Amino acid sequence: FDMFVLAFVERLFRPSYKKDDFALGKKLGEGSFGVVYRVSLANKPSSKEGDLVLKKATEYGAVEIWMNERVRRACASSCADFVYGFLESSSKKSAEYWLIWRFEGDATLADLVQSREFPYNVETLILGEVQDLPKGLERENRIIQTIMRQILFALDGLHSTGIVHRDIKPQNIIFSEESRTFKIIDLGAATDLRVGINYIPKEFLLDPRYRYAAPEQYIMSTQTPSAPSVPVATALSPVLWQLNSPDRFDIYSAGLIFLQMAFPGLRTDNSLIQFNRQLKRCDYDIVAWRKTVEPRCGPELRRGFELLDLDGGIGWELLKSMVRYKARQRLSAKAALAHPYFDREGLLALSFMQ
């Protein structure tokens, strides 16, 4: 009851917007279920480019608004700052949902990982300056460790709230210039198990090529697609959570991001898709995968093994415990954060930020 009153009061005092309040800027992205623009408030164009982001979404925007409202109240620092969401139906035949966030920054993790400078470009963003230190595996490992910690921290926030994202990938992780941390975006495919919203995944909302999807994706997508798209309170959800460990779906995806950051040779879409095929052939046993590829691998893969083998192979150990076939055997986000891989100091600036 208290939560309800609080939410209501907060809603009353927050500014509300309508269509004409926004001046459209550059298009940032376009999926099959929405278009994303950079925008500013029409009556006060505080910056030329706009300091807000607008997503015009189809009917699935309703769930995305709901998820963002919940995140803002329960684990705000995990995701991009949500400002407001509303139904816009003035001129169109079909309803359109408009979602507004604060503009967090120009770069997603995908942009950063694709750069030849990675991971040093991220170090500069986080520290706000170029470090005058020799480049090498040790330093790269620290940067990657810091990025992984931030991703897992954000995931732990979502999972503790009962939300599974289901589309964790570098394109949906944005670098927030203000907080100098990575935040999660795009809750369009997310599910909230505590209240049973969208429990059975809408397959078509997920990454069409399953690049970052855990193997149970294939099992889920053969289930009946009769999804409850309205809130259905169910006392069963905490039990379901324990039985199926649905949060570990995101952990597998985060594990693949870790893999791509460690291995320069696995950063392109095609090489990741090839990796997925090889891993499947090894029955999702990443140790078996290593045995088959390592003896004949080039420098682009060797470097990844070297990085993960630092400090007695603690990074490889973490990767193994995230990328596992059985969801229940993968670490939770909280357990992963407590893994000894994170015992070593990361980038300096981080200790005071989290």
Where in the sequence numbering do the catalytic residues fall?
Answer: 167
Contact segment (CB under 6 A) with ligand ADP among 142-150, 167-175, 243-251, 258-266 equals: 167-175
User: Which residue, 178 or 300, has its beta carbon nearer to ligand ADP?
Assistant: 178
Q: Is 53 in the site for ligand ADP (CB under 6 A)?
A: yes
**Residue 108 beta carbon to ligand ADP: minimum distance, rounded to whole angstroms:** 5
**Residue 101 binds: one of ligand ADP, Mg ion, none (C-beta under 5 to 8 A by kind):** ligand ADP
Given ligand ADP, Mg ion, none, residue 174, with its beta carbon under 5 to 8 Å by kind, binds ligand ADP
Report yes or no: 322 and 335 within 8 Å, Cβ to Cβ: no
d(CA 201, CA 184) in angstroms, rounded, equals 19
Give the nearest distance from C-beta 277 to Mg ion in angstroms.
24
Q: How far is the CB of 119 from Mg ion (least distance, A)?
A: 22
Report the residue number, 137 or 204, with the smaller CB distance to ligand ADP: 204
DSSP state of 343: T
Task: Find the part of the chain contacting Mg ion (CB under 5 A) among 126-134, 170-178, 234-242, 281-289.
Answer: 170-178
Helices 248-262 and 269-281 meet at what angle, rounded to 10?
120
Judged by phi (left if over 0) then psi (alpha if -120 to 50, else beta), residue 166 lies in left
Q: Does 250 bind ligand ADP (CB under 6 A)?
A: no
CB of 70 to ligand ADP, least distance (A): 16
Which residue number has the CB closest to ligand ADP?
A: 29
Helix boundaries (H) for 43-177 = 61-74, 109-114, 120-127, 137-161
Q: What angle do CA 198, 202, 204 make, to 5 degrees?
A: 155
Q: Which 64-83 positions form the footprint of ligand ADP (CB under 6 A)?
A: 80
CA 285/CA 288 separation, integer angstroms: 5
Which of Mg ion, ligand ADP, none does residue 263 bind (CB under 5 to 8 Å by kind)? none
Do residues 68 and 79 make contact, with C-beta atoms less than 8 angstroms apart? yes
Rank residues 68 and 172 by Cβ distance to Mg ion and give the closer one: 172
Binding flag, residue 156, Mg ion (CB under 5 A): no
Q: Is 186 in the site for ligand ADP (CB under 6 A)?
A: yes
Check the CA dihedral 317-319-325-329 and report its sign.
Answer: positive
Give, as ranges, the residues between 104 and 133 that touch ligand ADP (CB under 6 A).
Answer: 104-105, 108
Q: Please, are residues 100 and 54 in contact by the beta-carbon 8 Å criterion?
A: yes
Q: Which C-beta is closer to ligand ADP: that of 267 or that of 320?
A: 267
Give backbone dihedrals phi and psi of 347, rounded to 5 degrees, phi first. -75, 140
Q: What gap in Å lies between CA 50 and CA 174, rounded to an integer?
A: 17
Of 60, 84, 97, 103, which one interacts with ligand ADP (CB under 6 A)? 103
Contact 204, 214 (CB under 8 A): no
How many Cα atoms sit within 13 Å of 127 on the Cβ side? 16
Q: Give the shortest CB-251-to-ligand ADP separation in angstroms.
A: 20
As measured in angstroms, the least distance from the Cβ of 65 to ligand ADP is: 12
Q: Which is nearer to ligand ADP, 80 or 151 (CB)?
A: 80
Q: Which residues face 98 on adjacent strands?
A: 56, 86
Q: Does 29 bind ligand ADP (CB under 6 A)?
A: yes
DSSP character at residue 52:
E
User: Which amino acid type is present at position 46?
Assistant: S
Largest CA distance in the chain: 63
Interaction with Mg ion in 174-193: which residues (CB under 5 A)?
A: 186
Provide the β-strand partners of residue 174: 108, 183
Q: What residues line the site for Mg ion (CB under 5 A)?
A: 172, 186
Q: What residues line the site for ligand ADP (CB under 6 A)?
A: 28-29, 31, 34, 36, 53, 55, 80, 101, 103-105, 108, 171-172, 174, 185-186, 188
